[in-house]
Amino acid sequence: MVRSCAAKVTLAALALIYCVGCHRGERNEKLVFIVVPSEDNPFFKTEADAAAARAVALGYRVRVEAHDDDAYRQDNLVDAAIASNAAVLILDNAGADASIATVRRATKAGIAVFLIDREIEAQGIAKAQIISDNDQGARLVATEFAHALGEKGDYAELLGRESDTNAQVRTKGFHAVLDKLQGLKLVAAQSANWSQSEAFQKTETILQAHGEIAGIIAGNDTMALGAAAAVKSAGLTNIRIVGFDGSPDALDAIRAGTIQATALQPAVFISKLAIEEADEFLKTGSTGRPENQVIACDLVTRANVDDYRNFEKVR
């Protein structure tokens, strides 16, 4: 009896679904599917919001999703984009290697894929790969770091997640500048996986072993903020800290003087550019630009901090 009842309910429901399903008009606006690593991180949130706002302004429908740096979840979200007949996928991907097959599948399904913020290790699949210049930004911030330290003293480095290409590019950029200066000595280098709490703990440990360091250079702002908190809780004041990204929290910290400088990634500009190129591509069949596009970062210090807000130059 349970079974027969359930079967009847199922049948009735299927009939209802059928009726609902067949009387449906197609909507005109094309769909832009935006997938970013997370929505609870200010950088990715801003990046997603900027892209969504520009797409809506150009008359598209928009969906925003987050893959949490999980390549499999990203794969499922791309499936959803395919099933929803998305015209464009704006993707900040979950891994340079692990995303290739996923991007290829989306492209095969007829979706124009635009990669922002992070590249993949493959050419000719995405319509464009627009990233900020991590190397140039790292050199900028490292030069400012060296300047703030008077080009002498011991320093520590906090690295990003080792599997992330950006972490590697940034540390290379840092050392291209810092290793040339005889007075500066790297005494500790630890990965804090981009995380504020991990940076706090690692910095506390580093300060135990090297209380005399003059500066800490961090691969991103969240780690720089974690380091600043650890320095403060240790009661130290003379340690210079620099970060990377230009997050609103870091700009506040620069205003307050707990962080010296950061390299601001033009995330809003990149998102808008990606949407505009996608629009161009849908209308003309070409973006009119090369696939790989690198956008320069800006150095933000106390002198110019008021010119920037939310990953964008406002003045």
Partner 1 sequence: MSTTMQAVPRPRGAAGTLVRAVLILLRARAIVVLVALLVLFSSLAPEFLTANNLSILTKHVAITALLAIGMTFVILTGGIDLSVGSIAGLGGMVAGYLLTQGISLGGTIVYPPVAIVIVIAICVCMFVGVLNGWLVAKAGVAPFIATLGTLYIARGAALLISNGKTFPGLGGEASRGNTGFPAFGQSFILHIPSPVWMMAVLFVIAWVVAIKTPFGRHIYAVGGNDRAARLAGIRVPAVKIATYVISAFTAALVGLIIASQLEAAHPATGETFELNAIAAVVLGGTSLMGGRGSVTGSLIGAFVIGILTDGLVMLGVSEFWQMVIKGLVIVLAVGMDQAQIRLQAKLLPYLQAGR
Residues that bind partner 1 (CB under 8 A): 1-2, 5-6, 9-10, 13, 16-17, 20-21, 24, 26-27, 39-40, 63-66, 69-72, 75-77, 79-80, 82-85, 95, 97-98, 100-102, 121, 162-163
**Cβ proximity to partner 1, 72 vs 303, nearer residue:** 72
CB of 96 to partner 1, least distance (A): 8
Pairing of strands 128-132, 88-91: unpaired
CB of 150 to partner 1, least distance (A): 36
CB of 97 to partner 1, least distance (A): 3
CB of 152 to partner 1, least distance (A): 34
**Cβ proximity to partner 1, 120 vs 140, nearer residue:** 120
Q: Which residues pair with 115 in a beta bridge?
A: 91, 129
**Cβ proximity to partner 1, 66 vs 268, nearer residue:** 66
Residues 265 and 279: their CA atoms lie apart, in Å, by 23
* Region of residue 22 (phi > 0: left; psi between -120 and 50: alpha; otherwise: beta): alpha
SS3 assignment, position 196: helix
Residues 200 and 193: their CA atoms lie apart, in Å, by 12
SS3 assignment, position 215: strand
CB of 39 to partner 1, least distance (A): 6
CB of 129 to partner 1, least distance (A): 17
Burial (CB < 10 A; 0-12, 13-18, 19+), residue 112, is: buried
Residues 190 and 199: their CA atoms lie apart, in Å, by 9
Q: Please, are residues 240 and 142 in contact by the beta-carbon 8 Å criterion? A: no
**Cβ proximity to partner 1, 162 vs 179, nearer residue:** 162
**Cβ proximity to partner 1, 37 vs 137, nearer residue:** 37
Burial (CB < 10 A; 0-12, 13-18, 19+), residue 103, is: buried
**Cβ proximity to partner 1, 63 vs 309, nearer residue:** 63
CB of 103 to partner 1, least distance (A): 11
Q: Please, are residues 175 and 138 in contact by the beta-carbon 8 Å criterion? A: no
Give 233's DSSP letter. H
Q: Which residues contact 295 (CB under 8 A, 6 or more apart)?
A: 130, 131, 132, 133, 266, 269, 270, 273
SS3 assignment, position 230: helix
CB of 198 to partner 1, least distance (A): 14
**Cβ proximity to partner 1, 47 vs 144, nearer residue:** 47
**Cβ proximity to partner 1, 101 vs 234, nearer residue:** 101
